[in-house]
């Protein structure tokens, strides 16, 4: 075996990827034009043969790259590789299979970025998923920092593609639980044209009434209400049909029922801030999960609305 050549086996999570895109990920220090020239000249080969830059790889293929093209940082983008010691982790795992890792996200942490759940997830998955040059596990949808509940991470390219396609086509059902200000006695449908205000980091109503691209759609199902306080409070399940940033928080405010404790959107002060919990997620044929409530939310719920159960969709809903 030529010591000046490095060999990179391609796994199931690389299946169907183009050679040029794999190399852009593996050799980020080179321009796309430079990578194309290397492929055309045969400096980089697949299974020891020249291929077109747009060639799509298969599981079991082997990519050959001269060692001089690689730097110390040019390691496979393997979701299971990490140069740091593996930590003793205590992830709030709700469900796991070959394609998905589902967490019950706590309050105050993000899904990705610095000090997020992503790094602990990648470390947890060391040795649990096949090596890959291109695929890294990551969150398949978003939850705000202070929103708790169901958060799905992809463990495989197949699972990530399936989830993303179902999300894009509106096949995934996502239900949230929150406490709204004011009394809401009947189900409601909230539809607003939404736009981000980057200066104030808020979602606001759009003044552009043309088109539906920015529309936020949320169904609201009141479970119980409390009239002991001046304005009252409503415990509600909210099903989102779109995925705009701060969608529920903004639409609740526009509808006159901001989340209790959501100061940014006019909800007034409440100890611990607002409660918004991703309670249930349904991916037909694959997942139907419900996340237990955080302790603080459970205490607030019992204080304001009692122990339940609460009627929802013709059955008794028990919130734990």
Q: For residue range 275-320, list pLDDT tens digits in order.
A: 999 999 999 989 999 999 999 999 989 888 988 888 887 777 777 6
Pick one of 3.20.20.140, 3.30.2350.10, 3.30.110.40, 3.90.850.10 as the CATH number of 93-165: 3.30.2350.10
Angle, helices 19-26/32-41, rounded to nearest 10 degrees: 120
Residue 149 reports pLDDT greater than 90: yes
Q: Is the pLDDT of residue 102 over 50?
A: yes
* CATH, range 172-308: 3.30.2350.10
Q: Is the pLDDT of residue 115 over 70?
A: yes
Assessment of whether the complete model's pTM goes beyond 0.95: no
Residues 210 and 224: beta-carbon distance below 8 Å: no
The beta strand positions in 39-187, using DSSP E, are 45-46, 62-66, 93-96, 100-105, 138-139, 148-154, 173-181
Domain ranges in the chain with CATH number 3.30.2350.10: 93-165, 172-308
- Per-residue pLDDT of 36-83, as tens digits, reads 999 999 999 999 999 999 999 999 999 999 988 887 555 554 444 444
Q: What is the CA radius of gyration of the chain?
A: 24
List, by residue range, all CATH 3.10.290.10 domains of the chain: 5-69
Fold of 5-69: 3.10.290
């Amino acid at each position: 075996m030529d010591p000046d050549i490095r060999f990179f086996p391609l796994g199931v999570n690389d299946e169907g990827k183009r050679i040029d895109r794999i190399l852009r990920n593996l050799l980020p220090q080179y321009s796309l034009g430079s990578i194309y020239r290397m492929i055309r000249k045969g400096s980089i080969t697949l299974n020891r043969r020249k291929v077109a830059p747009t060639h799509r790889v298969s599981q079991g293929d082997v990519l050959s790259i001269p060692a001089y093209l690689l730097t110390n940082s040019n390691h496979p983008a393997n979701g299971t590789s990490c140069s740091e010691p593996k930590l003793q982790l205590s992830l709030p795992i709700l469900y796991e299979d070959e394609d998905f890792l589902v967490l019950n996200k706590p309050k105050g942490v993000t899904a990705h970025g610095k000090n997020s759940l992503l790094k602990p997830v990648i470390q947890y998955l060391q040795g649990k998923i096949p090596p890959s040059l291109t695929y890294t596990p990551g969150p398949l949808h978003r939850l705000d920092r202070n929103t708790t509940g169901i958060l799905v991470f992809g463990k495989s390219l197949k699972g990530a593609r399936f989830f993303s396609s179902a999300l894009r086509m509106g096949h995934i059902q996502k239900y949230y639980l929150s406490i709204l200000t004011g009394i809401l006695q009947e189900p409601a449908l909230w539809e607003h044209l939404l736009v981000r205000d980057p200066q104030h980091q808020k979602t606001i109503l759009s003044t552009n009434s043309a088109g539906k691209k920015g529309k936020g759609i949320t169904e609201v199902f009141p479970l119980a209400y409390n009239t002991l306080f001046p304005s009252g409070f409503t415990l509600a399940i909210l099903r989102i049909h779109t995925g705009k940033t701060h969608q529920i928080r903004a639409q609740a405010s526009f509808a006159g029922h901001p989340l209790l404790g959501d100061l940014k959107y006019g909800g007034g002060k409440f100890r611990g801030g607002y409660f918004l919990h991703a309670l249930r997620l349904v991916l037909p044929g694959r997942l139907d999960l419900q996340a237990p409530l955080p302790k603080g939310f459970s205490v607030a719920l019992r204080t304001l609305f009692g122990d339940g159960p609460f009627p929802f969709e013709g059955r008794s809903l028990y919130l734990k």
